[in-house]
Amino acid sequence: MSNYHIGLSGLDAAQKAIDVIANNISNAATEGYHLQRIEMAPAYSAQTGGVLLGGGVDINGVTRMIDDLLEQEILRQRSVLEYVSQKAVTLATIETTFGEFSSGTCLNAAMDEFFNALNELSAHSGDIIWQSQVVLAAEAMANQFRILGDFFTNLEDQIRLTAESSIEQVNTLIGQIAELNGQIARMEIAGTNANNLRDQRDQYLTELSEFINIQTQSREYGVIDVDAGGIHMVTSSSAVELEVGFNENGSMGIGAVDAYNYITNVQGGQIGGLLSLKNNTLAEIHGDLDDLASTIIQQINQCHVQGVGSDGSFTELTGWAVPDADGEFADYTNQSVTDGSVFIRIINTSTGEITREEITVDANTGGDTLNTLAVAIDALDGVGASVISSKLHIVADTNYKFDFLPAVLPSPKAADINFNGLSDPTVAVSGIYTGSSNDTFTFTVTGTGGIGNDPLTLTVTNGDGQTVTTFNIGSGYAVGDELDLGNGLKISLSIGDLVDGDSFSIDAFANTDTSGVLVALGINTFFSGSGVSDIAVSSDISASPGRIATALGAEMTDNTNAQRLVELKDQSISALNSMTPGEFYRGLVTDIGQQLMIEQKRQDGLEGIIQNLSNRQGEISGVDINEQAAQMLVFEQMFQAMAKYMNTVQSSFESLMEMV
């Protein structure tokens, strides 16, 4: 009866081999399918007498032709490719949005136009045409900033939505993988081949790797566990759903649903690329752009608050900032307010008398607030202040005006004069101080006698007690002639008598708002807003271009402040990494282009690597229809031969029975 067993095993083996080949051919174009091969071995051999007889053929199983290390590497490289591709596509969009430097509508050109308009204004400071041109150029620049700010805000929102959509697809895939794990385990525990299900699961793993970098761990009975970013997404037939969320610092990440613990540093895949873009690339570019806008706002406004335009001093000013009226300046986050002072120049328009009052600002915890500042200003003679809708409002009394000009007072304050002669001279002070910091200059007389006649000298010292210069005001000095201190200030003395040791002092101002509170509250500023998303020309300036603060001198006809505003274009600013605004912007755009070039080169390289790996995968796991057809002929002939063998055995057996 062993003859029948041998024949039947051969027929069965040939039939199953043909079935495997048919399965291969039918899946030749199926993505993710791996070539299968039937495994045969000689069956148990029995010894009869001195002869060892064969037992036919055994089928040991059907094997998938797969290189696990190669498959893992393909998964890894596909994940990296999707990561790089996502970044490259987004960077290309950003580069296009910024535009070319040659474009007349890009931010770089708008900044140049703004500073060029300021330069023209410095030569025509009282001309409404050039004042209006500055407003138009400033509004165009601010609009370009806001367009870019809105673009990045919308792009960040789109990235979040894309990440959420991708996570939904990830959850679908891990659910399918977990379900297939269960089916594969049940089939293989029962001894049934589950190769097709394994291929289906591997295809899901490939799709999953394109969303996120995964690590797999093989278990018994064909089960595979899947991890990503330290999260156990699939364990046997159980799946953990994921969600997109934000940590306390605002960084976007992924985590298990309702766990509220989000991993932000996810490597690989589209999701990894989206997280990297949101948390690093976009955050850095958006932050740099915001720094540029806020620095321009701050630098322009710091100069502007001290000056006046062709409209002259003010009868009323209202800030545009809306802080908490009772909030301490120490808590201001958008603007920097420090310990310092605000110096207000008050002009009596009836008498021409000019005084300067100091308001100290305590920016420490427990210090000043908007309300306390308003109270301090309101206590001054000639002006009043209040808080209206959380905005500082300063108004001049009748027959008064005010400003924050650093211009020296026309003569020393009475309290700063110590004359002891028979006839006190009059001291006249003029000019615009060019020093870099506020200072007090003291003038001390050496000698006794009449100005312009007797041996008299005047020694000038600064606030540190250092001698600045010495003037001859005795014989040889023409009374009334101006004496130049060399820092933009000049003095002259009228006829009078002085005594050895007599003195007077004058205050010189480089900055009349050392606290920065005027800028923070939007008092007499050129720009409103705090950054790229809300930068705008102040409504007061838009409504009255004559308010553009071009002058710093007491006569208000100079263009000193306009020139200082123009100089900001070429000024290296520490907040911009010691670069000018133009250099900082060009560096920002150049860096985007360099990042894009790097990512595109990586993308090209990865595509080549994956192509090579796929070719190798095709050699191992791909279905060659011609080869399969050739094998089918072999097994077809085997089946026919075994059938003839069975007929022969049957005929022999029947002949034997007839003989008996």
* Residue 154: burial class (beta carbons within 10 Å; 0-12, 13-18, 19+): exposed
The tens digit of pLDDT for each residue in 139-174 reads: 999 999 999 999 999 999 999 999 999 999 999 999
Cα→Cα distances 370→23, 213, 235, 373, 382, Å? 81, 53, 59, 5, 20
The tens digit of pLDDT for each residue in 443-463 reads: 999 999 999 999 999 999 999
The tens digit of pLDDT for each residue in 411-432 reads: 999 999 999 999 999 999 999 9
Residue 627 CB contacts under 8 Å (≥ 6 apart), including other chains: none
CB neighbour burial string for 584-603, b if at least 16 within 10 angstroms, e if fewer? bbeebbeebeebbeebbebb
Average pLDDT rounded to a whole number, residues 16-26: 90
Q: With bands split at pLDDT 50, 70 and 90, how would you rate the model's confidence at 86?
A: very high
Helices (H), 212-322: 269-276, 282-304
Average pLDDT rounded to a whole number, residues 96-102: 67
Element (H, E) at 118: helix 107-123
Average pLDDT rounded to a whole number, residues 406-411: 94
| CA atoms of 629 and 619, how far apart (whole Å) | 17
The pLDDT of residue 51: 63
Contacts for 459-468: CB closer than 8 Å, 24+ residues apart: 460/485, 463/439, 468/441
The pLDDT of residue 525: 96
Average pLDDT rounded to a whole number, residues 59-70: 88
The pLDDT of residue 659: 75
Q: With bands split at pLDDT 50, 70 and 90, how would you rate the model's confidence at 44?
A: confident
The pLDDT of residue 648: 84
Its sign, for the CA torsion 162, 164, 169, 173, is positive
The pLDDT of residue 180: 94
Q: Tell me if 568 sits within 8 A of 574, measured CB to CB.
A: no
Q: Which residue has the tokens 């053929």?
A: 57
CB neighbour burial string for 351-372, b if at least 16 within 10 angstroms, e if fewer? eeebebbebebbbeeeebbbbb
pLDDT surpassing 70 at residue 494 = yes
The pLDDT of residue 100: 52
- From 79, 95, 210, 88, select the one nearest 600 (Cα to Cα): 88
Residue 563 CB contacts under 8 Å (≥ 6 apart), including other chains: 122
Phi-psi region of 483 (alpha: psi -120 to 50; beta: other; left: phi over 0): beta
Dmax (CA) of the chain: 169
pLDDT surpassing 70 at residue 2 = no
The pLDDT of residue 193: 86
The pLDDT of residue 449: 94
Lowest pLDDT segment from 97-106, 112-121, 301-310, 567-576: 97-106
pLDDT surpassing 60 at residue 205 = yes
Average pLDDT rounded to a whole number, residues 573-577: 92
When the pLDDT of each residue in the chain is averaged and rounded to a whole number, the result is 91
pTM confidence score: 0.85
The pLDDT of residue 57: 86
Tokens representing 92 are 């290309």
Which has more pLDDT, 142 or 7?
142
In degrees and rounded to multiples of 5, residue 592 shows phi and psi of -60, -45
Q: Tell me if 452 sits within 8 A of 432, measured CB to CB.
A: no
| CA atoms of 576 and 584, how far apart (whole Å) | 6
| CA atoms of 409 and 355, how far apart (whole Å) | 7
- From 303, 286, 250, select the one nearest 516 (Cα to Cα): 303
Lowest pLDDT segment from 260-264, 288-292, 460-464: 260-264
pLDDT surpassing 60 at residue 403 = yes
pLDDT surpassing 90 at residue 5 = no
Its sign, for the CA torsion 645, 647, 648, 650, is positive
Average pLDDT rounded to a whole number, residues 609-617: 91
- From 285, 249, 282, 291, select the one nearest 155 (Cα to Cα): 282
| CA atoms of 114 and 463, how far apart (whole Å) | 38
pLDDT surpassing 70 at residue 50 = no
CB atoms inside a 10 Å sphere around CB 633: 10
The pLDDT of residue 578: 95
pLDDT surpassing 50 at residue 102 = no
% pLDDT > 70, the chain = 97
